[in-house]
Amino acid sequence: MTDKRNFETDAIRSQSDRSEFREHSVPLYLTSSFVFDDAEQARALFADEISGNIYTRFSNPNNTELIEKLCLLEGTEDGIATASGMAAMYISMASLLKSGDHVLASRSVFGSTHQILNMLFPRWNITHTYADLSDPSSWESKIQPNTKMIFVETPSNPALDLIDLEWLGKLAEKHKLILNVDNCFATPYLQNPAKWGAHLVTHSATKFIDGQGRVIAGAVLGKKDLIKEVRFFARHTGPSLSPFNAWVLSKSLETLAVRMEKHCSNALLLAQWLEKNNNVEYVKYPFLPSHPQHQLAKKQMRLGGGVVTFEIKGGIDRGRKFLNSLKMISHSANLGDTRSIATHPASTTHSKLTEEERAAVGITSGLIRISVGLENMEDILNDIQQAIEASKL
Ligand SMILES: *Cc1c(COP(=O)(O)O)cnc(C)c1O
């Protein structure tokens, strides 16, 4: 097929070739290794002269299908699927950096990404500097002669701050740096960082890509020459995704567009509703006109995403009471599920940061993150309404 097709069609119609059984939906290849035709083919496969499956730590038809689909959806050349989002973040950096290198990162990165930069990389003399999403003018002066990579999350978790990807792509180009964007919150349906010049696009597929709270997985997508290095690192260190999870995710992608449309329209309704509620201190959502970067959100995102953050008047004590009063919405650390989930980042996902570090990335003590699910909106609002009432001190 050579015709350019649209997102939903690629997500559904890009699949591995049929086997002799002419199955409509792609089967699961639960095998750890593959059989060689003869000694010559085995030699050529190991010498990388021909492509084909050898061993599932290197590749497997289910993983290949998932990656080819993700590359179509993100507009990237190549990629690799990993056993978790963190494996993707880790290998996307560790495979391309060496002792003495420096990373410029947005201050608000996922908690475990923070731990990699703060606690693990210094062991191997890889250093970093954080820059604030809210202050783009400070970024260029933080680039050092040994800076190799810029790593960012936009929108950030959980404060939902953004950075202009087009501007960042140009900055990376000017200084010959690798731009690595964690696109987990937006998913390929809402935002394609490669279009703005990102060389690597990393994902936790655990979130909206699966969308049903079933698997832990990740992906590193990007330029062919960089993915070659990432693949070498992964092949020999082994953070491979299981074929079963790859198969689940390839099915999940078939419905990503319809799910994201609904997550986003539900999230916008919730954000608008919270904004009118006088028990609420503030609400943040990229597609609310009150978001300080609303214009930028509209430029680089198709819709505002499935996460809303807010703070109830009454601070942390009332926030906790609110969480304990929810009847339907799950109190859990995940996001991007069909089920709505409420999280208190300051005491859970971001508890390893100091209060100062949290303040610097917009995580106030009472901030509550809602990953808005696909339940009926009336039921979501009713639960939040009753929990707000019950939390009155
Ligand atoms: C969850 C998450 C990760 C980590 O992914 P896992 O699949 O849990 O390993 C990384 N980045 C962001 C933005 C996330 O939300």
> What is the per-residue pLDDT for 315?
82
Indicate whether 370 and 356 sit together in one domain: yes
Q: Is residue 358 part of a domain?
A: yes
Residue 1: is its pLDDT beyond 70? no
Indicate whether 212 and 328 sit together in one domain: no
Residue nearest atom 11 in ligand 1 by C-alpha distance: 110
Q: For 270-281, what is each residue's pLDDT tens digit?
A: 999 999 999 999
Indicate whether 265 and 240 sit together in one domain: no
Pocket test for ligand 1, best of 113, 154, 184 (most atoms within 8 A of CB): 184
Average pLDDT for residues 296-325, to the nearest whole number? 94
Pocket test for ligand 1, best of 153, 157, 191, 204 (most atoms within 8 A of CB): 204
> What is the per-residue pLDDT for 353?
79
Indicate whether 21 and 146 sit together in one domain: yes
Indicate whether 97 and 172 sit together in one domain: yes
Indicate whether 210 and 81 sit together in one domain: yes
Residue 345: is its pLDDT beyond 90? no
Q: Which residues line ligand 1 (CB under 6 A)?
A: 84-86, 89, 110, 153, 157, 182, 184-185, 204, 206-207, 216, 218
Tell whether the torsion through CA atoms of 161, 121, 355 and 333 is positive or negative.
positive
CATH of the domain at 76: 3.40.640.10
Measured in angstroms, how far is the CA atom of residue 271 from the centroid of ligand 1? Answer: 23
Average pLDDT for residues 314-337, to the nearest whole number? 92
Half-sphere CA count of 76, side-chain side, radius 13 A: 34
Residue nearest atom 2 in ligand 1 by C-alpha distance: 204
Domain stop point among 253, 282, 307:
253
Indicate whether 326 and 242 sit together in one domain: no
Residue nearest atom 4 in ligand 1 by C-alpha distance: 85
Average pLDDT for residues 16-36, to the nearest whole number? 94
Measured in angstroms, how far is the CA atom of residue 43 from the centroid of ligand 1? Answer: 38
Residue nearest atom 6 in ligand 1 by C-alpha distance: 85
Reported confidence tier of residue 4, pLDDT bands at 50, 70, 90:
confident
> What is the per-residue pLDDT for 354?
85
Q: Is residue 171 part of a domain?
A: yes
Mean pLDDT of the chain: 95
Indicate whether 156 and 281 sit together in one domain: no
Indicate whether 174 and 206 sit together in one domain: yes
CATH of the domain at 370: 3.90.1150.10
User: Of 51-65, 85-99, 184-198, 359-373, which gets the smallest average pLDDT?
Assistant: 359-373
Nearest atom in ligand 1 to the alpha carbon of residue 184 is 13
Pocket test for ligand 1, best of 110, 115, 371 (most atoms within 8 A of CB): 110
Q: Is residue 235 part of a domain?
A: yes
> What is the per-residue pLDDT for 138?
96
Q: Is residue 2 part of a domain?
A: no
Indicate whether 244 and 263 sit together in one domain: no
> What is the per-residue pLDDT for 136?
93
Q: Is residue 343 part of a domain?
A: yes
> What is the per-residue pLDDT for 317?
86
Indicate whether 232 and 270 sit together in one domain: no
User: Of 79-83, 290-294, 326-330, 357-361, which gets the smallest average pLDDT?
Assistant: 357-361
Q: Is residue 361 part of a domain?
A: yes
> What is the per-residue pLDDT for 2?
52
Q: Report how far residue 271's alpha carbon sits from residue 372's, in angstroms, rounded to the nearest whole number.
A: 10
Domain stop point among 253, 279, 301:
253
Q: For 347-364, what is each residue's pLDDT tens digit?
A: 887 887 788 888 888 888
Residue nearest atom 5 in ligand 1 by C-alpha distance: 85
Domain stop point among 200, 219, 253:
253
Measured in angstroms, how far is the CA atom of residue 18 from the centroid of ligand 1? Answer: 33
Which structural domain range is residue 31 located in?
7-253
Instruction: Count structural domains, the chain.
Output: 2
Q: Is residue 1 part of a domain?
A: no
Nearest atom in ligand 1 to the alpha carbon of residue 185 is 13
Indicate whether 273 and 212 sit together in one domain: no
Average pLDDT for residues 157-168, to the nearest whole number? 95
Q: For 71-130, what is each residue's pLDDT tens digit?
A: 999 999 999 999 999 999 999 999 999 999 999 999 989 989 999 999 999 999 999 999
Percent of the chain with pLDDT over 90: 87
